[in-house]
Every structure is written in structure tokens, then in C-alpha cells.
């Protein structure tokens, strides 16, 4: 449910899980623009304090992307946000940048409509840590999907049922 002090045609960016005030109140925007604003806040925060978190060249960033449903988004809405987050990071950092993705309900607040986007730089053993989480298959931990390079994807020529039956 929207906070009463925020008009219906506005949304908050940068709010906390328990409804703390956000960083800014902006006009409602399409998913692509809203997600791009979130990714830009992570990758281009406008302060040198964050510089150590990013590689010297953003084009060399290899990361895992977490997209968290804060509670009340539908699965379709979450999938749209996840697709837009992958596109926004790749637009900023190159097509090979997002190599693992986890999208789901990991930290929620009842009926809170919204998402959080988190990027984890994959260096210094982070990839192995994520592999360990996947191996454990804990129901409370994110399951990561390995994302390939978009140019490597080929359009489907058979139905999913035909492809599954042939294996």
C-alpha cells in the first residue's frame, strides 16, 4: 500500500524495507526507467566513497544480480524488473557483466510493493561462494541462474515440449 504522503502519481527511490523515507520521490516511471535509476545509483553514485567497490573499468565488471520482491509484486512484474536490471547493467558495463542472477522473494515486508536491486562484484572468491549456495540448495537461499552472453543465445526452433522430449 502506498504511503499516504506520497501522491499516487509518484514513487520513492531508495527506501528502506520498513518504510523509512526514501532518497527521493519521483514521478512514476516505466519499469525500464525506474530500474535504470536504481542501477545508476549503484554504479554511478556520484561520490568517490564508492569507488573501491567498482573495478577501474566498468567494462571489466563481472557481477551477480539479486532482484528482490519486497512482497507484493506479481511474478510477471518481478520478471520484467529482472529483465530490465540485466539490460541496464549490461548497458553500463558491457554484455558479459551479469553472469549470475537470483530473482525472487528473499527479504519481504508483508504487502510492500516494490523491489530492491543488488549487485555483487564477482571476485575474491565470491563466485565460489555462490556456487556453494547453489550446491546446498537451501530453500531460504537464492538459487542463481548462470546467464550467458546475449549473442550466444539462439532463437528457439522447436517447442519446449519437443526439446525436452528429445533429451
Nearest CA-CA partner of 25 in 44, 47, 4: 4
Catalytic residue among 10, 18, 143, 149: 18
Cα dist from 147 to 17, 56, 65, 99, whole Å: 28, 23, 10, 5
| Known active-site residue 10 | no
Q: How would you list the strands of the sheet with 145-146, edge to edge?
A: 115-121, 63-69, 98-104, 145-146
- Phi and psi (nearest 5°) for 8? -60, -25
List residues with catalytic annotation: 18
Amino acid at each position: 500500500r502506498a504511503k499516504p504522503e506520497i501522491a499516487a502519481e509518484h514513487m520513492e527511490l531508495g527506501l528502506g524495507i520498513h518504510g523509512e523515507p526514501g532518497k527521493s520521490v519521483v514521478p512514476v516511471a516505466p519499469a525500464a526507467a525506474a530500474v535504470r535509476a536504481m542501477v545508476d545509483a549503484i554504479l554511478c553514485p556520484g561520490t568517490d566513497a564508492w569507488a573501491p567497490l567498482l573495478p577501474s573499468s566498468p567494462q571489466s565488471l563481472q557481477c551477480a544480480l539479486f532482484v528482490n520482491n519486497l512482497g507484493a509484486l506479481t511474478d510477471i512484474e518481478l520478471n520484467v524488473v529482472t529483465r530490465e536490471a540485466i539490460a541496464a547493467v549490461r548497458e553500463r558495463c558491457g554484455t558479459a557483466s551479469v553472469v549470475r542472477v537470483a530473482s525472487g522473494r528473499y527479504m519481504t515486508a508483508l504487502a510492500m510493493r516494490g523491489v530492491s536491486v543488488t549487485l555483487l562484484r564477482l571476485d575474491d572468491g565470491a563466485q565460489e561462494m555462490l556456487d556453494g549456495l547453489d550446491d546446498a540448495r537451501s530453500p531460504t537461499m537464492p538459487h542463481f541462474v548462470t546467464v550467458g552472453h546475449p549473442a550466444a543465445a539462439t532463437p528457439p526452433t522447436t517447442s519446449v515440449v519437443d526439446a525436452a522430449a528429445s533429451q
